[in-house]
Structure 1
């Protein structure tokens, strides 16, 4: 097995062959260039190279044309002659082959459903997804804290919606312990959740949640599994797309053990349309991405950002991307020219050409490249003809895709969603129990009132015994916050809000039948 991936060459008119050393595959990378300059082909050949070396890959298919990696290239393809000509030019012995692929789809239409729980997503990423203000994010943090302390698991959106309704009903009690909880902020969060639900994101949250081990599989021949997320529909909600992929990176960072610098990466993660991750991102989120990018390589994970312009990636992250393939950048405006100069300055110069001019002039399927060499030193920049792919260029037939999905072992594990006992069901039971206790208390009070009324006629009012009132301080000491909320919840059942909550619960139950 080779210890490197052949990316391209140059023949007589260009520089030396360009190769990505696998032991530096976890040092991250960048694939950049204007639309139509060949970024997708570069992404495909890198995924092929990692898979052939036994490295699993995860990538999002934002245009729907990466599924061809599951099928072998063919001599009947319209670009076959161009491929063989280029292969001869760069000294490549081209052999067509297919690669093992698992298809995923957040909506469950063009791949296996891929889910995360609300608790795994966490308040920071969820706030980013919902575009919450700082006070609203604070309220969401209170809800997550209450979920932890009161054993109310947050698995899907209805769990979070039920918990927020509960928090709104008992805002005064909760504010006394966790700080001010504004019902206005809760209402705003609920409305944002409704928008998210209307976008189809409810299918993203729930169980069975994705097991990261299922992304790091090899096939029977030892090739790394290429995991393709169908993102053409997901791209209609760019913030949802970016947040989901960032969650996945965060989970890899938190769960994988430290392994230093392995000879082979454990997983390579391609983040297409990377600019969506940083657009209008708050400082805390950018810092989280920076932390993940800086530290996750020691866990054997390589991240490759794909975007139109290197300027889309913050400098602190761009500086960590050692393996680079820069396709053409067009300079039509003053800003474009500035971005072009800045992009050229990030490469080690080559005395044979001017880097800035090369980035501007390379054609489709060509690039300016630099990869890490011995001891992790970036190579001198080279003009490179990118090699043709071994797999099919373009999407596979939908029927073939459906067959691959049906034959995958992942189907049995993820096809059917699971709705286990969680916050929604537990709050529902609390409501029913509180209503029952309230009814029993009212019935008992009514029965006690009859003999008391009869006895009252035998005595003067001044002689009636008075029952001592319990101390509020004693009650607060003896009640946990869960007990206090439960009692308050029982009192609120007769209110309009309480009736709406019960009506919503019952409506959901009847709707599900």
Structure 2
């Protein structure tokens, strides 16, 4: 198989996409309800049949039907059979393709995760809507984590790393430039908002192995990987950042293969305008680089959007295969889009492209595909081939069966939280807190011991003073004791008696007394001694 039958204007005017030119990228554009989804489904079936794996986002939920065969009882059967006959598609039949369902939230498919480190500061800054200053602080946090061998796996790790950088703001500002706490706070607030959008489920382990997207089944058919994006579209930045990350991972992990006979993977980027809305120049440069160079890795990227003007010119110039469904020129802006779309095609003398764009039926498109020599074919008005798989959603029960029986199994079902930046920084903080507590306790112990030592010294001094007084008292001789007692007695009652006696003698008391003054004195002294 060397090409994919896309459709025809008449049974003899077939439009085929050459597989060896399919990695030259492409554009599928058109207003809502003009048939873009059916075109996507038809191309996915063709690539799968050729053994080429496919990745596509299911924005409305109706691409999930690829995993089941269409039915002759479906209300679209008559229209499909008529279309197949009209374009001479004798090989058309109902058939399913091998699928793998994925979901960032783990609800409608296998969980898809990546690590914060793999996402990188540029895409994270875009995801969180950071300004240039905040992006610089985020880059410093990544650099410090890399220097100190701290793994950034989930949002908790990034939160802990930002807090760590805020604590070291003065040191890091000297080395790398200003790390303002206000900027860190702004990033942390955006992280909180990202969590509320489900970003905490996207970042972590086990991370998606890109090889899962490159499978073929036992019959050699390429597996179509379908990302459930209906809920994801409520967080458009997360959606766009995830798909750009996936492209970047493919670019970095796949080997150079030059120009293969067929792509190694085809990547459909639905609602592509979300990738470019408000994107800074650095991000646009990265997108352009990936789109320009991933071709040599064998990957074809097809942007799907309503308005071809959604794609920047530098990137639109890389899109060789083009399918343009109807556009409506109701406003001046719409008219401008019609003219721009018409000018991108190789002219066809027999076709007024600008007029045809507004006249196309549902399921009809203007098609210009690359030819064998690499030049674009003249644009043709084409009826797109109808798919053989179910057009529309699957039931939850059908989805569960398809998930349970695919080749992925339960490898991504349970999240793993191994030791990383958060745990290491928390352990260091705990050690520092324990050391500070120990130092404070030691200091308090020293102060208490000093107070105890001071009190003990005071008590010892008092004890020694008492002991010395006692010792002096015990060392006094009996004669000294008697003298002391006599002195005390003389200073008290005996002294007063002597004074009284002397007074009476001097003042002329009795001339003669029964006892002499000396005898009284002796008795008084001896009496005082015995009483003492």
- Range of TM-score over shorter length: 0.7 to 0.9
1:50 alignment counterpart: 47
The one-character-per-residue Cα deviations of 1:117-153 (angstroms, maximum 9, x if unpaired) are 0111111000001101111111111111111111111
Q: Give, in angstroms, the shift of residue 163 of structure 1.
A: 1.2
Q: Indicate if the aligned counterparts of 1:16 and 1:382 stay in contact, CA closer than 8 A.
A: no
The separation in 2 between residues aligned to 1:441 and 1:376, in whole angstroms, is 76
Instruction: Work out which of the residue numbers 82, 87, 107 in structure 2 matches 1:85.
Output: 82
The separation in 1 between residues aligned to 2:402 and 2:336, in whole angstroms, is 46
> What SS does the aligned partner of 2:410 have?
helix
The separation in 2 between residues aligned to 1:195 and 1:234, in whole angstroms, is 15
The separation in 2 between residues aligned to 1:112 and 1:401, in whole angstroms, is 11
Q: Give, in angstroms, the shift of residue 405 of structure 1.
A: 1.2
Q: How does 1:54-453 map to 2 (within 5 A)?
A: 54-93=51-90, 94-449=92-447
> What SS does the aligned partner of 2:292 have?
helix
Extract unaligned runs of 5+ from structure 1.
459-513
Q: Give, in angstroms, the shift of residue 257 of structure 1.
A: 1.0
> What SS does the aligned partner of 2:373 have?
helix
The separation in 2 between residues aligned to 1:11 and 1:198, in whole angstroms, is 52
The one-character-per-residue Cα deviations of 1:85-113 (angstroms, maximum 9, x if unpaired) are 11111110211110000000000000000
Q: Give, in angstroms, the shift of residue 172 of structure 1.
A: 1.7
The separation in 2 between residues aligned to 1:448 and 1:140, in whole angstroms, is 45
Extract unaligned runs of 5+ from structure 2.
457-532
Moved more, 102-111 or 15-24: 15-24
Q: Indicate if the aligned counterparts of 1:267 and 1:302 stay in contact, CA closer than 8 A.
A: yes
Q: Give, in angstroms, the shift of residue 258 of structure 1.
A: 0.7
Q: Give, in angstroms, the shift of residue 428 of structure 1.
A: 1.0
Q: Indicate if the aligned counterparts of 1:37 and 1:363 stay in contact, CA closer than 8 A.
A: yes
2:488 alignment counterpart: none
Q: Give, in angstroms, the shift of residue 234 of structure 1.
A: 0.2
Instruction: Work out which of the residue numbers 24, 27, 33 in structure 2 matches 1:27.
Output: 24
The one-character-per-residue Cα deviations of 1:171-202 (angstroms, maximum 9, x if unpaired) are 22222222211111111111111111111111
Q: Indicate if the aligned counterparts of 1:30 and 1:306 stay in contact, CA closer than 8 A.
A: yes
1:39 alignment counterpart: 36
Moved more, 67-76 or 332-341: 332-341
Q: Indicate if the aligned counterparts of 1:322 and 1:372 stay in contact, CA closer than 8 A.
A: yes
Q: Give, in angstroms, the shift of residue 451 of structure 1.
A: 6.4
Q: Give, in angstroms, the shift of residue 335 of structure 1.
A: 1.8
> What SS does the aligned partner of 1:375 have?
coil
> What SS does the aligned partner of 2:286 have?
helix
The separation in 2 between residues aligned to 1:451 and 1:393, in whole angstroms, is 85
TM-score (normalizing by structure 1):
0.86
Q: Give, in angstroms, the shift of residue 44 of structure 1.
A: 0.4
1:6 alignment counterpart: 5
Q: Give, in angstroms, the shift of residue 450 of structure 1.
A: 5.9
> What SS does the aligned partner of 1:411 have?
coil
Q: Give, in angstroms, the shift of residue 409 of structure 1.
A: 3.5
Q: Give, in angstroms, the shift of residue 442 of structure 1.
A: 2.5
Paired residues, what number? Answer: 456
Q: Give, in angstroms, the shift of residue 455 of structure 1.
A: 8.5
Q: Give, in angstroms, the shift of residue 452 of structure 1.
A: 6.5
Q: Which is greater in Rg?
A: 2
The separation in 1 between residues aligned to 2:189 and 2:415, in whole angstroms, is 25
The separation in 2 between residues aligned to 1:87 and 1:444, in whole angstroms, is 89
> What SS does the aligned partner of 1:395 have?
coil
Q: Indicate if the aligned counterparts of 2:21 and 2:372 stay in contact, CA closer than 8 A.
A: no
Q: Indicate if the aligned counterparts of 1:327 and 1:362 stay in contact, CA closer than 8 A.
A: yes
The separation in 1 between residues aligned to 2:200 and 2:183, in whole angstroms, is 21
The one-character-per-residue Cα deviations of 1:404-440 (angstroms, maximum 9, x if unpaired) are 1122332321000000000110011001111122122
The separation in 2 between residues aligned to 1:90 and 1:274, in whole angstroms, is 30
Q: Give, in angstroms, the shift of residue 457 of structure 1.
A: 11
> What SS does the aligned partner of 2:164 have?
helix
2:461 alignment counterpart: none
> What SS does the aligned partner of 2:323 have?
strand
Q: Give, in angstroms, the shift of residue 456 of structure 1.
A: 9.2
CA-based RMSD: 1.7
Q: Indicate if the aligned counterparts of 1:6 and 1:18 stay in contact, CA closer than 8 A.
A: yes
The one-character-per-residue Cα deviations of 1:35-87 (angstroms, maximum 9, x if unpaired) are 10000000000000001100000000000000110001111111111111111
